[in-house]
Structure 1
Amino acid sequence: MKISTKGRYGLTIMMELAAKFGEGPISLKSIAERNQLSEHYLEQLVAPLRNAGQVKSIRGAYGGYILSKEPETITAGDIIRILEGPISPVDFTEEDDPAKRDLWLRIRDSIAEVLDSTTLADLVTFQDAGKVDNYMFYI
């Protein structure tokens, strides 16, 4: 299973909203600028998230989007399923070899476990803690 830009950028939107949770609405324009993404594409992604009840839109001059729930209650799995559909490494049928079928099921379940146990709060905390590998090279 390969997560497309829909899932990755959708997760970016949600992480931005989680990082500013409780501070008021955030515009898609500001998210797009901060992450060097297309605002138009983000507008397409936020619609299913709004329809699924994950975000709320606020109208007006100072409008934008806010999370509809606490960041601790929204998982990466929730977001990926909304934007990408069911989590499955391959399409398989009941006729497949039982050993291969078991392998695909275990892989699917492992991926789902990681996504479902990782909340937006976890991702924002991880990002804020600077847990990104940055290398300094001296010549």
Structure 2
Amino acid sequence: MELSCKSEYAILALIEMATHYQNGEPMQIRQIAAQQSIPDRYLEQLLATLRRGGIVKSQRGSKGGYFLTREPWKITVFDVLECLEGSDMRTCEEDANHKNIDTSVINEIWQEAREAANVVLQKYTIQDLCDQRDSRRQLDIMYYI
């Protein structure tokens, strides 16, 4: 299992939005892109997908932008990945008639691994990622003093 660039950028954008969640104002694409070093055009596409998935909302106008649809502690990493990558998480699609015992064993183990990964991804929220980032920043500051 691998984290795609698309998913990583989306999670980074959501972390940035979660950081500014309390002020209640939408964030513009250029703000998020600058803070997280994400290409503007790519971020625009990702946010459109997240909007269709109900994770972010957009607001038009001079003070427009994007904001989270719910609290950062209610958005799991699994929610984000499911929105972007789909729920099947890439399995080998083969005709059921062509499966043999070896293939069945491999698919069962892969299914078990996906289920275990999904449990972990459902455990962590965007807020958890923000908290971990903040605590690591604090450790970095302490180390350099």
- Using structure 2 for the length normalisation, give the TM-score: 0.82
Aligned letter for 1:111? Answer: A
Structure 2 residue 35 is the aligned partner of structure 1 residue 34: yes
Residues 13, 36 of structure 2: 8 Å contact kept: no
Specify which of 95, 111, 118 is matched with residue 112 of structure 1.
118
The range that moved more, 123-132 or 84-93, is: 84-93
Seq. identity, %: 33
Question: Following TM superposition, by how much is the alpha carbon of 1:5 offset from its aligned partner in structure 2, in angstroms?
Answer: 1.4
Residues 89, 108 of structure 1: 8 Å contact kept: no
Question: Following TM superposition, by how much is the alpha carbon of 1:99 offset from its aligned partner in structure 2, in angstroms?
Answer: 2.7
Question: Following superposition, which runs of at least 4 residues in structure 1 exceed 4 angstroms of deviation?
Answer: 131-134
Specify which of 129, 132, 136 is matched with residue 126 of structure 1.
132
Q: Aligned equivalents of 2:116 and 2:139: distance in 1?
A: 24
Question: Following TM superposition, by how much is the alpha carbon of 1:92 offset from its aligned partner in structure 2, in angstroms?
Answer: 5.2
Question: Following TM superposition, by how much is the alpha carbon of 1:115 offset from its aligned partner in structure 2, in angstroms?
Answer: 0.9
The range that moved more, 10-19 or 79-88, is: 79-88
SS at match of 1:56: strand
Residues 89, 107 of structure 1: 8 Å contact kept: no
Structure 2: runs of 5+ lacking an equivalent? none
Larger Rg: 1 or 2? 2
* Aligned residue number for residue 44 of structure 1: 45
Structure 1: runs of 5+ lacking an equivalent? none
Q: Aligned equivalents of 1:113 and 1:89: distance in 2?
A: 17
The range that moved more, 81-90 or 119-128, is: 81-90
Question: Following TM superposition, by how much is the alpha carbon of 1:52 offset from its aligned partner in structure 2, in angstroms?
Answer: 1.3
Structure 2 residue 108 is the aligned partner of structure 1 residue 102: yes
Question: Following TM superposition, by how much is the alpha carbon of 1:70 offset from its aligned partner in structure 2, in angstroms?
Answer: 0.9
Q: Aligned equivalents of 2:87 and 2:35: distance in 1?
A: 30
Shift in alpha-carbon separation, 1:68–1:39, aligned structure 2, 3 A: same
Aligned residue pair count: 135
Q: CA RMSD in A?
A: 2.2
Q: Aligned equivalents of 1:38 and 1:92: distance in 2?
A: 33
